[in-house]
A and B are shown apart, each in its own frame.
Chain A
């Protein structure tokens, strides 16, 4: 098992760190782009790339090292104000950041590095890097640890403008350093690669032989390093022995004409506290986390906690059920205590669910990449404006939202936003805008995707639907009805299948994905003004608001979100309709009746539906059906337990939950029930019809 492999764990934590760094990188670039930069952004960006490089080096991910190194070189030029940030350069930075995240992903998944893209980006980066200093930009191949004559200090001209820094390093290893299999020569060798290194060992503390403790450490070193790299990079050499040694890195005078450091102090004299290791440490936390501390937790532990709390909720339900049946007075101490217990349980449950909650920010960042790539591929100028990035949603929801959102964003770029000339003609800015907003509303999260494009071309949508015979030719549809045609399976307005969208993945797939998350999607559009898709989602997939019903002696749970009303079936409102079908008349419409018990195979023959209860379910595509059940118990929140589908996948069943009495109740998947009933459920109801006629 790899779980206990320490190297795998370290590697895994490196990739987690990479995710955070890439996020910080995106944030920084975004700040540069929007001008919300307070002068710190370029440093954040640089540090992020630099830290990725450092980690990548430790794992021998050469490709990642090379790419981030040369990326860093250009960033460094910007940082030193040798290179101005232009829109083009920023675009390149964004693409490089995207590519870096590809490289990281490839490394994590053990895939091949996307070398071709790398090469293209690298040559672009190098072009920028070469601009300010064509000759001596320190790139790895050119940079061998050549012994530099110290005369250079007095003759800065010889090395062009390359800044040469001297660092005094005082290094005293602790015994733990050796215990963790680090060794001093390796560190010094790595330092020597950065520049000209002078090593002096201090042997003063070495005792006489009879006092020598074999595992004690008596040596310390004073090093002097002349290098062009900055202090953070010098410090990064010591990253792996951080905390295992006493370390001081003191910057000496800079020897270049570029007066980077005005520190007039001489090497030996600089005061010790001015540059402890921690300060130039490259992994600065993302800026918006200033006052918060975070704990990185294995998701399995959280899952376990979620499960345990689920147990607690179930146990509490059991307890209250048995206390109620014991006939205690509602004013008794025990009942009061139970009430308090229920409140606490609910609070704990909410708090635990919050642990899994994550801001949608990472998702939104991915979308800005999608916009960049999509707009480049159709040659449109589109920017993404995000709002409510800190809105928190369950991790699973975020993960499963990525695909539908990607599709919608691509759609918006491809179909929504008009070409620039058309926009200008209509008095709109040439640059299109897509807004992505997240917000909380009454216990659900709302995600809006809107564009300021031409809106839905309803005439064309209607015509397409008619051509494809999705609606009858003489249908009279409202604007909203026409908009909703977009969700029909097989619908596509794209007159030609573009590379970007229309690859057989339509809005119907988006809607299915949203429904699978227990969400809803609505559409509204204003001709000439743009289109808005609004997604409403539950905050978590771990609990469900359910309606608990009884059928054939079994207890089943229906998602409350699909139940629109309940009906009592009477002779007056039930009609048989052809072989195998019955319908109920409700609000002027006829809804097909489905007996849940026979659909699930709990009973083969349905009695007459009269005097029984039906739930009106509103499903996707605005399809409504009436589901016949024996009894409605109540509405309550249930803890969702996954079913092992690999063993047996039951039709119509989505998951399970545990009831107050410890029994398992199955949670229904209404759409699947309807699909299943349509496929094979006709036989049992045929019998019913014959019987009813007899």
Chain B
């Protein structure tokens, strides 16, 4: 079982990266925006898509797929930026499409199997199954924190 024995249901925002389904705790999601062109940051790591104007705030945007070692997201109007807040800091995550909001019990979460040779980022906190589809639950802290240390 995953962390804790919380009986409180957890709400997840599920979204697609390529043909894979991922999700994030909805409590960390601030808003969902359609794709707008980002101003690229000079000499930034390639997953840094740049910065966009979020009602007057400069918001950094990460290509989440590329961040996770998947083929990078396209840049069409179908793409969506999920604005998340972690540790007082707002970040935009570029994903292919948002799917659904689901409510799950903590007991429905499974610890991901040891992914031996997998050379991507170990940011998947747990796995769950909805309608026979496997959903990866991301650990946002690791997504944001690792990108910070990589960039620095």
Contact = CB atoms under 8 A, between A and B. Distances in A.
Interface stretch (B4-12, B50-58, B129-137): B50-58
Interface stretch (A196-204, A525-533, A611-619, A656-664): A656-664
Contacts of B151: 647-649
A311 interface: yes
Interface string B105-148: 00000000000000000000000000000000000000000011
Nearest to A657: B58
A644 interface: yes
Nearest to B60: A647
Contacts of B44: 648, 650
Contacts of A601: 42-43
Contacts of A656: 39, 51, 58
A310 B51 contact: no
Contacts of A311: 55-56
Interface in A624-656: 641-644, 646-653, 656
A643 B45 contact: no
Contact of A646 (B41, B42, B48, B89): B89
A442 B50 CA distance: 37
Interface string A387-410: 000000000000000000000000
Contacts of B53: 658, 662-664
A643 B89 contact: no
A33 to B, nearest CB: 47
A601 B46 CA distance: 12
A658 B37 contact: no
B14 interface: no
A303 to B, nearest CB: 12
Contacts of A643: 51, 58
A425 B60 CA distance: 65
A641 B42 contact: no
Contacts of A653: 41-42
A681 to B, nearest CB: 10
Interface residues of A, number: 29
Interface residues of B, number: 24
A602 interface: yes
Nearest to B147: A647
Interface-centre pick from A601, A641, A650 (highest chain B CB count, 10 A): A650
Interface-centre pick from B42, B45, B89 (highest chain A CB count, 10 A): B42
B35 to A, nearest CB: 14
Contact of B58 (A308, A600, A644): A644
Contacts of A600: 42-43
B79 interface: no
Interface-centre pick from A649, A652, A663 (highest chain B CB count, 10 A): A663
Contacts of B55: 311
A308 B50 CA distance: 23
A642 B41 contact: no
Contacts of B23: none
Contacts of A665: 39
B37 A641 contact: no
A666 interface: yes
A9 interface: no
Given A311-B55, A647-B89, A664-B53, A652 B42 contact: yes
Interface string A110-122: 0000000000000
Interface-centre pick from B39, B147, B148 (highest chain A CB count, 10 A): B39
A336 B55 CA distance: 28
Given A646-B148, A664-B51, A641 B39 contact: no
A307 B40 CA distance: 23
A554 interface: yes
Interface string A68-103: 000000000000000000000000000000000000
Contacts of B39: 554, 656, 663-666
Contacts of A641: 56-58
Interface string A484-502: 0000000000000000000
Interface string B24-67: 00000000000001011111110010111101111010000000
Given A643-B51, A646-B148, A647-B89, A666 B41 contact: yes
B42 A642 contact: no
Contact of A650 (B41, B52, B89, B148): B41
Interface string A299-320: 0000000011011001000000
A342 to B, nearest CB: 19
A7 B106 CA distance: 38
A650 B43 contact: yes
A653 B40 CA distance: 12
Contacts of B52: 664
A602 B40 contact: yes
Contacts of B89: 644, 646-647
Contacts of A649: 151-152
What are the 4 closest A-B residue pairs judged by CB atoms, nearest first? A600-B42, A601-B43, A648-B151, A664-B39
Given A648-B41, A666-B42, A666-B51, 17 more contacts: A307-B56, A311-B56, A554-B39, A554-B40, A600-B42, A602-B40, A643-B58, A644-B89, A647-B89, A647-B91, A647-B147, A647-B148, A647-B151, A653-B41, A653-B42, A658-B56, A664-B50
22 contacts: A314-B56, A600-B42, A647-B91, A647-B147, A648-B44, A648-B45, A648-B148, A648-B151, A649-B152, A650-B43, A650-B44, A651-B42, A651-B43, A652-B42, A656-B39, A658-B53, A663-B37, A663-B39, A664-B39, A664-B50, A665-B39, A666-B42
Interface of B: 37, 39-45, 48, 50-53, 55-58, 60, 89, 91, 147-148, 151-152
